[in-house]
Structure 1
Amino acid sequence: MKKIIPYIFLISVVSCQYFEKEVPSEQELMEKQMKEINWKEVDEYPSVADCEAISDETLRKQCFFEFLASTIQQKLSVDTLSVLYPELDTIEVRVTINPDASMQFEPQFPKDTVAYDTIKIDSILRVKLVDFPKVNPAIKRGIPVKTQFVLPVIIKTEK
């Protein structure tokens, strides 16, 4: 028994090195976590009060985009846009929602467009899309973030 005790002691001292692990630095941990984050997607899409009650994320996103498109269409339907440009049936609008819930709208036109007065259409959009309903910004890791997307808006002409 006396001969076994030194061996057990020696084995336990030598095996301690297997339990020691190098602790990564704070910088290494942060870099690793930053690489794991998908910066192209948000945790929660922007939303409006009408869509908050929907629990399914996909349906809530669809509800938000439908609400946004219909509200823009409604505000533009009372406009001279369809009179000025009867051939224009759809406008792609870049919508930017900032973390403070403010919004910007910019019409997107093909680069070779000369048929439309883009400055006039832009000014009409800016005038008509004021007093927009409150939109809750997108959330990424618990923090409101800026989101941007292009939304096709159909300009309805009443006949």
Structure 2
Amino acid sequence: MKRIFIFLLLINVMSCEFFEKKKVYSEELLENEMELFTWNDVDEYPTFSSCDSTIGKANKKQCFENTLRDILNTNLSQYHIVVLESIEDTVQLKITIDNKGEFSINSIESSTLTKQQIPQLDSLLRQSLDSLPKIFPAIKRSQQVTTQFSLPVIIKIE
């Protein structure tokens, strides 16, 4: 009986630390959360209504980019562009979609030859993307956020 009493007493003394409340500081929680937070990734990419049925984050991003390229190709094909020599270049469009779904082109990067041969290329690209359908902004932690993309566009004129 004496052994059981000592055993129960030891368990009781050792178990007291399980009942202690640990203080949690908001700064510490915030710091831990900031370490885990990935700034360069979103939960859902921006999308068009035509991509709503697409399943998966990567597939939605691909659908968004393909829809942008299709609209761009359709609109650019309406212009008759004459060049002195054939051009095959990849133009980088730096675009932003803000948290309200507003689309804007930040910059257009192309080679010097392309700029010389097609000086109006920047304005043609901007005009081609002026009348986009409604864009639903990217989502991060259930909040609509601003995102930036680099969209490569291949220009091939013979």
TM bucket (normalised to shorter chain) is 0.7 to 0.9
Contact kept in structure 2, 1:76 and 1:155, CA below 8 Å:
no
The size of the alignment, in residue pairs, is 155
| Contact 1:73-1:153 at 8 Å conserved across structures | no
How has the CA–CA distance of structure 1 residues 54 and 127 changed in structure 2, closer, same or farther, with 3 Å as cutoff?
Answer: closer
TM-score, normalized by length of structure 1?
0.77
- Supply the distance in 2 between the matched residues of 1:99 and 1:85 (Cα, whole angstroms): 42
Q: Helix, strand or coil for the counterpart of 1:116?
A: helix
Measure, in 2, the Cα distance between the counterparts of 1:119 and 1:34.
Answer: 45
Q: Over aligned residues, Cα RMSD in angstroms?
A: 3.0
Take 2:84 and 2:125, find their aligned partners in 1: how far apart are those partners?
14
Consecutive unaligned residues of structure 2, counting only runs of 5 or more, are none
Correspondences of 1:6-155 after superposition (within 5 Å) = 8=8, 12-13=12-13, 15-80=15-80, 82-83=81-82, 87-89=86-88, 90-105=90-105, 106-110=107-111, 113=112, 116=115, 120-155=120-155
| Cα deviation, residue 11, structure 1 | 5.5
Q: Provide the secondary structure at the position in 1 that maps to 2:101.
A: coil
Q: Is the 8 A contact 1:93 1:152 kept in 2?
A: yes
- Residues in 1 aligned to 2:2 and 2:12: alpha-carbon distance in whole angstroms: 16
Superposition deviation, residue 24 in structure 1: 2.2
Q: State the TM-score, normalizing by the size of structure 2.
A: 0.78
SS in 2 for 1:99: coil
Alpha-carbon separation, structure 2, partners of 1:41 and 1:85 = 43
* Larger relative strand fraction: 2
Q: For 1:134 and 1:84, locate their aligned partners in 2 and report how far apart those are by CA, in whole Å.
A: 34
Deviation at 1:32, TM superposition (A): 0.4
Structure 1 unmatched runs, 5+: none
1-structure distance, mates of 2:104, 2:41: 20
**Could you tell me how far apart the structure 1 residues matched to 2:18 and 2:103 are?**
57
Percentage identity across paired residues of the two chains:
36
**Cα shift at 1:22:** 2.4
Deviation, 1:144, is: 1.1
- How far apart in 2 are the matches of 1:7 and 1:60? 62
Write out per-residue CA displacement over residues 60-108 of structure 1, whole angstroms, 9 at most, x where no aligned residue. 222211111111121222225x325764444221121111100112311
